Homo-oligomer: A and B are copies of this chain.
Amino acid sequence: MAYLISLSRRLRETPFTPGVEATGVKAYTVYNRMLLPTVFEDMESDYHHLKEHVQVWDVSVERQIELNGADAARLMQMLTPRDLRKMQLDQCHYVPIVDENGKMLNDPVAIKHSDARWWISIADSDLLFWVKGLALGAGLDVNVFEPDVSPLAVQGPKSGALMERVFGPDVHDIRFFRHKRMAFMDTSFIVARSGYSKQGGYEIYVAGSQHGMPLWDALFKAGEDLNVRPGCPNLIERVESGLLSYGNDMTMDNTPLECGLGKYCKPVEGLEHVGREALALEAALGPERQIRAISILGEALGHARTAWPLIEDGARVGQVTSAAWSPDFRTNVAIGMVDAVHWSPGTELFVETPQGLREARVRGRFWN
């Protein structure tokens, strides 16, 4: 069954909504209480186009949290187990955020403007409330708020060519997960080499909603002969690429080690952060389950609306949380969380899908 979405002010529009709707968006999801496009032509056509050309994505839903004030750096390090002491001003850092029990609250990307000013580009939870609450409870000298910043992503193999036409050749100097301030008309934006696909690309942190549609229009005008199209994070591509989705593949029930994020959470002598004891204990014992790439055999399945149980010998040994038919790999690609005994590559399991029980294989790596 297909259902309509009822629109209201509560599901926030973005600076790019007029462009998204004029170019034929067909479906939305809601992410951080804001509209995120999910389909333009259809998911498979959008997928093929992303892998061959270049797309402009409205990812305003990656809301920013600004930490601003004397205690900003101290608060930022309290928030994450990742050691930020050597972070440079042009780096983007993926920073898992955990609570005092070491459970995932969000998996954002941080940018450091200065010791006294940071942005956190968030996944789908009101992390603002956690950061504000923690700062207030601990009596820190810092302002925490959501600034008027809406990221626009340019993704796909021709993204470099398109970005050069709008921002100039210096855009090619930006290395992966680094950023640089680039001029646009009478303003400038932070431009990062990043994005929620593995097809290459950039994210433009559009500060000031009034600049949204002029930038959108400039990208589409400059990219006409590159076959530029509107797009959005593509379920098939992201599962092939092993890009996790907070709320889908991991929730507040999971730890960063379970999510395969252990490299960002190594215990560091003298580093104080929330969840330190819980994560140190888990690092010593090892996680009980972990994210894995999973192939589901047989014909094309629908997408997972809920977690699908993974079964061995009649017992539940994990779950599949994202799944899609991959036209390029001719299998159902999936992301799942699998118990320790069963997570080795090649392990044969069953998965309970709405289309019946299916054979599944644990893989050693994702596809892209």
Residues on A lying within 8 angstroms of B by beta carbon are 1-11, 13, 21, 25-31, 33, 38-39, 99-100, 105, 124-139, 245-248, 274, 303-307, 321-322
10 A–B contacts, CB within 8 A, in A order: A4-B26, A6-B29, A8-B247, A9-B322, A10-B29, A10-B245, A10-B247, A99-B132, A125-B126, A134-B137
Contact B136 A136 (CB under 8 A): no
With contacts A25-B3, A126-B125, A133-B131 known, is A305 near B8, CB below 8 A?
yes
Contact A3 B29 (CB under 8 A): no
Residue in chain B with minimal CB distance to A21: B1
Specify which chain B residues have a CB less than 8 angstroms from the CB of A30 in the assembled complex: 5, 11, 29-30, 33
Q: How far is the CA of A139 from the CA of B249 in the complex (A)?
A: 31
Contact B303 A8 (CB under 8 A): yes
Specify which chain B residues have a CB less than 8 angstroms from the CB of A39 in the assembled complex: 4, 6
Contact B3 A306 (CB under 8 A): no
Contact A305 B125 (CB under 8 A): no
Contact A6 B21 (CB under 8 A): no
Specify which chain B residues have a CB less than 8 angstroms from the CB of A31 in the assembled complex: 10
Specify which chain B residues have a CB less than 8 angstroms from the CB of A132 in the assembled complex: 99, 130, 133
Contact A136 B21 (CB under 8 A): no
- Which residue of A6, A99, A129, A274 has the most chain B CB atoms within 10 A of its CB atom? A6
Specify which chain B residues have a CB less than 8 angstroms from the CB of A136 in the assembled complex: 99-100, 133-134, 137, 274
Contact A129 B100 (CB under 8 A): no
Q: How far is the CA of A33 from the CA of B26 in the complex (A)?
A: 21
State the 4 A-B residue pairs at the shortest beta-carbon distance, nearest first.
A137-B137, A133-B133, A10-B247, A126-B126
Chain B nearest CB: distance from A147 CB in Å? 13
Contact A304 B11 (CB under 8 A): no
Specify which chain B residues have a CB less than 8 angstroms from the CB of A131 in the assembled complex: 133
Contact A9 B274 (CB under 8 A): no
Specify which chain B residues have a CB less than 8 angstroms from the CB of A21 in the assembled complex: 1
Checking B9, B245, B322 against A307 with a beta-carbon cut-off of 8 angstroms, the contacting residue is B9
Residue in chain B with minimal CB distance to A232: B6
Specify which chain B residues have a CB less than 8 angstroms from the CB of A247 in the assembled complex: 8-10, 33
Specify which chain B residues have a CB less than 8 angstroms from the CB of A9 in the assembled complex: 247-248, 304-307, 321-322
Contact A38 B133 (CB under 8 A): no
Chain B nearest CB: distance from A233 CB in Å? 11
Specify which chain B residues have a CB less than 8 angstroms from the CB of A129 in the assembled complex: 105, 125-130, 133
Residue in chain B with minimal CB distance to A39: B6
Chain B nearest CB: distance from A63 CB in Å? 12
Residue in chain B with minimal CB distance to A144: B99
A8-B247, A8-B248, A9-B247 are known; give 15 further A-B pairs, CB within 8 A: A1-B21, A3-B4, A3-B5, A3-B25, A4-B4, A4-B27, A5-B27, A7-B303, A9-B248, A9-B322, A10-B31, A13-B306, A33-B124, A125-B126, A137-B137
Specify which chain B residues have a CB less than 8 angstroms from the CB of A127 in the assembled complex: 129
Specify which chain B residues have a CB less than 8 angstroms from the CB of A135 in the assembled complex: 133, 137
Q: How far is the CA of A30 from the CA of B125 in the complex (A)?
A: 13
Q: How far is the CA of A124 from the CA of B1 in the complex (A)?
A: 26
